[in-house]
Amino acid sequence: MSNPETGVDDVRWRLDDLHDDAADVKESLATADEAAEAFAEEYQGRIAELPPEALATALEELDAIQDRLGRAHAYAHLHWSTDTNDGERGALLQSVRETYNRIHQKLLFVEVEWANVEEAHAEEVLAHEALRDYRHHLETEYLQKEHVLSEPEEKVLSEKSITGKQAWTRYFDETLGATRYELDGDELTQEEILSKLYEPDRELRRNAALAFTEGLKDNRRTLTFVFNTLLSDKASTDRLRGYDHWLESRNLSNEVDDETVQALIEAVTGRYDLVARFYQLKQQLLGLDELYDYDRYAPVGEADTTYEWDEARSMVLDAYGDFHPDMQSVARRFFDEEWIDAAMAEGKRSGAFSHGTVPSAHPYVLLNYAGKPRDVQTLAHELGHGVHQFLAREQTIFHHGTPLTTAEMASVFGEMLVFQRLMRREDDPQNRLAMLVSKIDDTLATVFRQVAMNRFEDRIHTERRKEGELQPERFDEHWMETQEAMFEGSVILGDHYRHWWSYIPHFLHTPGYVYAYAFGELLVLALYARYREAGDAFADQYLDLLRAGGSDWPHELVGELGVDLEDEDFWHKGLSQIEELIAEAESLADSGSESEEARIEAR
């Protein structure tokens, strides 16, 4: 697991800004429990009658309790994430979740009582200046009123979630975290085996894909059962809460209406021709007769470049600094103050994330850094999240986070800044082509692949509710059909690929999440176009947008930067910019072919 050539082995985070150790966590939770008891004694049964100033005071007290709870949970989760095989860390996480849940139940009366406030009174209260820092949170909570159950029912659902969804998702994570994939005599983690799909050696890519499939097949019965269980769990919760369809709760949480999401999905699926067009170009560039699933991320041109950690750090910080010095200074703190865990380590969670924790603390970034060009982009992506989460600490805990529709905005924008800086520095047309193809690879994965996965989710949730438990072959069929639709024949999906639905955590952790990636990518394309038009003045506005966190509706916040999310043509404008990237790659490829022909003739 060690990767000394990247200089990343010692890049481990320090969690003592949250808590010193497990004992400190438990002591803090005990204090939070006492505060929750006192809060309930003071306010239970009175939320509907509180005048605005008193309600603001109550929410301020609730903010402090939630912040303390969030610190404890963040510590336990982050501590476990770096070694999911450690039983003591898992036990601490479970203990914290159980205690957190028990304390949370004492506070559930707030949302239940607020949901039952008369509409006229709610409007009057929301208009008061005293609730300015809490207004949007209260607005969104009130919109959920028809889906909020009685307090005893809410407590039961909360209690059972610990041994229900949360337990099953943890089991899923630990199962895949412990799985090893055999390749050329080595036992590789998921992160290591999937990184081979980006290698220039086609045989290596093929063997890695087959080895990964064998590991998934070994877990096939377990993963199928976990999926069926969590699909059923969500169906029952949605039924109890009165949601009309499987995605309604996610859309409400994302603060976006069903019509907007449907327009996004229809716009993206309506341009699957762009996917086929790009992969036909990539097949030509790779000189292949046929392009298989394991060829999709094959590099074009030089691909054996390894970026040491310090070099990656400089690339990202320089790109952020070109945009705005404040953005650079915040990002630098992640490195200087040890808020990043980037080493490849046994038992560590795969993938990458930025955990926003709570306003009184700061975010933490987890990576599995292998030194590849895409790892640099991942660093830029997660630091984009981190800067957003750090700046939004100015908000209360209720507005500190953002809906998923704008949660990916800063991360994708951070990637774009690094990519554009590297492109400006590169003069060689072939290198520019290689970089552009890699960028389009990522863009298609973020927009089209995520929407194709949404189509898979839609099928499995719908069928689970209508037909009952799905056999693994039905998951396979839905997966292959929705993936093949996206490629329009440009990529051959091998029989092994039918198992690859089973490792994707978003389907289980956050059902309905995936379309938010497409939302965020197309939003960033629009924001970056505005940046090119407005110049430096845009940068200050953009940082103000990040500082706003989730304090207003997404369309209102981005509207301040001249982007209209309610424009019917919005998604098509973003897709047209992807088409421009593909056209630029085609042009560079044609230029390269002409240059090669000229060199041959000269010889």
| Residue 597 predicted with pLDDT over 80 | no
pLDDT of residue 64: 97
Return all residues near 235 (Cβ < 8 A) that are at least 6 apart: 246, 461, 464, 465
As a whole number, mean pLDDT of residues 547-567 equals: 91
**Entry pTM:** 0.84
Contact status, residue 354 vs residue 328, Cβ threshold 8 Å: no
Q: Is residue 98 part of a domain?
A: yes
Q: Is residue 48 part of a domain?
A: yes
Q: Is residue 384 part of a domain?
A: no
As a whole number, mean pLDDT of residues 177-181 equals: 94
Report residue 532's pLDDT band, with 50, 70 and 90 as the boundaries. Answer: confident
Q: What is the dihedral of CA 34, 37, 41, 42, to 10 degrees?
A: 60
As a whole number, mean pLDDT of residues 462-470 equals: 97
As a whole number, mean pLDDT of residues 192-206 equals: 94
Domain count, the chain: 1
Matching residue, tokens 């590991």: 215
pLDDT of residue 4: 64
Q: Is residue 34 part of a domain?
A: yes
pLDDT of residue 175: 95
Q: Is residue 260 part of a domain?
A: no
Residue range of the domain that includes 107: 22-163
Tell me the per-residue pLDDT of 371-390, one tens digit each, with 9 for 90 and over.
888 899 899 999 999 999 99
Tell me the per-residue pLDDT of 236-253, one tens digit each, with 9 for 90 and over.
999 999 999 999 999 999
| Residue 560 predicted with pLDDT over 60 | yes
Q: Is residue 90 part of a domain?
A: yes
- How many Cβ atoms are within 10 Å of 185's Cβ, its own excluded? 5
Q: Which comes out higher in pLDDT, residue 529 or 1?
A: 529
Read off the tokens for 455: 């189509």
- Compute φ and ψ for 376, nearest 5 degrees: -65, -40
CATH number at 73 reads 1.20.140.70
- How many Cβ atoms are within 10 Å of 213's Cβ, its own excluded? 18
Tell me the per-residue pLDDT of 492-508, one tens digit each, with 9 for 90 and over.
999 999 999 999 999 99
Q: Is residue 508 part of a domain?
A: no
In 425-459, which positions are buried (b, 16+ CB within 10 angstroms) versus exposed (e)? eeeeebebbbbbbbbbbbbbebbbbbbbbbbbbbb
| Residue 335 predicted with pLDDT over 70 | yes
As a whole number, mean pLDDT of residues 316-333 equals: 97
Of the listed ranges 351-365, 381-395, 422-436, 534-548, the one predicted with least confidence: 422-436
Report residue 77's pLDDT band, with 50, 70 and 90 as the boundaries. Answer: very high
Q: Is residue 17 part of a domain?
A: no
**In the beta sheet, which residues pair with residue 364?**
355
User: Which run of H or E residues covers position 188?
Assistant: strand 186-188
pLDDT of residue 134: 96
Length of the chain: 603
Of the listed ranges 54-68, 103-117, 526-540, the one predicted with least confidence: 526-540
Compute the distance between CA of residue 127 and CA of residue 53 in angstroms, rounded to an integer. Answer: 12
Return all residues near 557 (Cβ < 8 A) that are at least 6 apart: 406, 545, 548, 551
Tell me the per-residue pLDDT of 429-440, one tens digit each, with 9 for 90 and over.
888 898 899 899
pLDDT of residue 408: 86
Contact status, residue 229 vs residue 389, Cβ threshold 8 Å: no
pLDDT of residue 603: 42
User: Which run of H or E residues covers position 113?
Assistant: helix 109-115
Tell me the per-residue pLDDT of 239-289, one tens digit each, with 9 for 90 and over.
999 999 999 999 999 999 999 999 999 999 999 999 999 999 999 999 999
Q: What percent of the chain has pLDDT over 70?
A: 97
pLDDT of residue 599: 45
pLDDT of residue 3: 62
Q: Which comes out higher in pLDDT, residue 301 or 82?
A: 82
- Tell me what the pLDDT averaged over the chain comes to: 93
Nearest to 96 by CA among 11, 162, 151: 162
pLDDT of residue 405: 84
